[in-house]
Structure 1
């Protein structure tokens, strides 16, 4: 085996290890919460602690990687949409599934202590995924003209809270119901001046 082949094999193994760690972390965090022992993730992924820490310096780095993976999955899926007025609702449904898959990370997301530029970059990516679909849906009159792309963050927080607060066996139904309520709210949403007393 020449040096180039050896490097490619090591790189491939490193990518597989990282992928196994992320898959294992998703499953373990879903089962036991975002503070589950990292040792369980190592066992499930079939790697040692050194491999885990070579890929992720700490728990927050692992959480951040999972959140980035969720956003990347959403971005990739958004590219497959038909580019019409149905995109926004379809994207919300897909986001609901992502929140179900990563429910344990919801609390972490809302208290993320990463450097502000990293947090803002993730939030900007989320808003960016929804901006085009929202514009098409607004143009078709299916959501209020007052709904802005930045409103997607509180919408996702509300959806995530509904999912996270439900018992694990009720999360699917709770997420479905919450999404229906939120979609109805977005259709009738208006910005009204505050009433002064």
Structure 2
């Protein structure tokens, strides 16, 4: 009688191999995502402290990763800058999605965007200096408008905004803040941003309805 070999051990080994491979893939993706978030956070910090033209190696060092990891995620400064802006838009989308009353979140988001623009002045103009950057910024601008159009309309209908205010006024206000800061010394920016936010807040929002 011939010896019969069972296929079961091979099947089990195959399943185990697939399972281990899947777990490894998941771990690698998690590591890659974590490194990407570390680099974005470090980029925000380093650009804020030293300006947009700082050596990218400083960002890798701040994030605690190697230069190769940095360039795998962000091949150059433009890709990093764009990803930082994309991340801001994603955070706004998450904030609106989780807000019990998006119309009430409009004021908070307006000032948050003003603060992020003032943290790294010139980020948008830097990207807009190339055709690819302008195209990407226009895409993000349209995405942001799509997110805010409904809440802004609802806020105006409920008397939280002045009746003549439109989404264009928000966009114009943010552009004025960022553009104005480029000509102001770093040590004076915080004071000027606070003043600009007070003036623009009074112009856009109904004082009696403001949350702050």
Scaled by the length of structure 2, what TM-score is found? 0.75
User: What are the residue-to-residue correspondences of 1:155-194 with 2, within 5 Å?
Assistant: 155-186=173-204
- Residues 79-121 of structure 1 show CA distances to partners (whole Å, capped at 9, x for unaligned) of 3444265432222122123224443524325545426543222
User: Are 1:138 and 1:144, in contact at CA under 8 Å, matched by a contact in 2?
Assistant: yes
Task: Determine which structure has more spread, i.e. the larger CA radius of gyration.
Answer: 2
Moved over 4 A (4+): none
The answer to whether the 8 A contact 2:106-2:151 is kept is yes
Distance 1:109 1:142, change over 3 A: farther
Identify unmatched segments of 5+ residues in structure 1: 189-197
Q: CA RMSD in A?
A: 2.6
Q: Residue deviations 1:151-175, cap 9 Å, x none?
A: 4322211122344544334433322
Structure 2 counterpart SS, 1:36: coil
Post-superposition CA distance 1:37-69 (Å, at most 9, x none)? 111111111222221111112111111000101
- Preserved CA contact (<8 Å) 1:29 1:104: no
The question of whether the paired residues in 1 share the 8 Å contact of 2:156 and 2:163 is answered with yes
Establish whether residue 39 from structure 1 lines up as the match of residue 83 from structure 2. no
Deviation by residue 1:127-149 (Cα, 9 ceiling, x = unmatched): 12321221122213443444332
Contact conserved, 2:181 with 2:189, CA < 8 A, in 1?
yes
Q: Which runs of 5+ in 2 are unaligned?
A: 1-16, 207-212
Residue 115 (structure 2) aligns with: 97
The aligned length equals 188
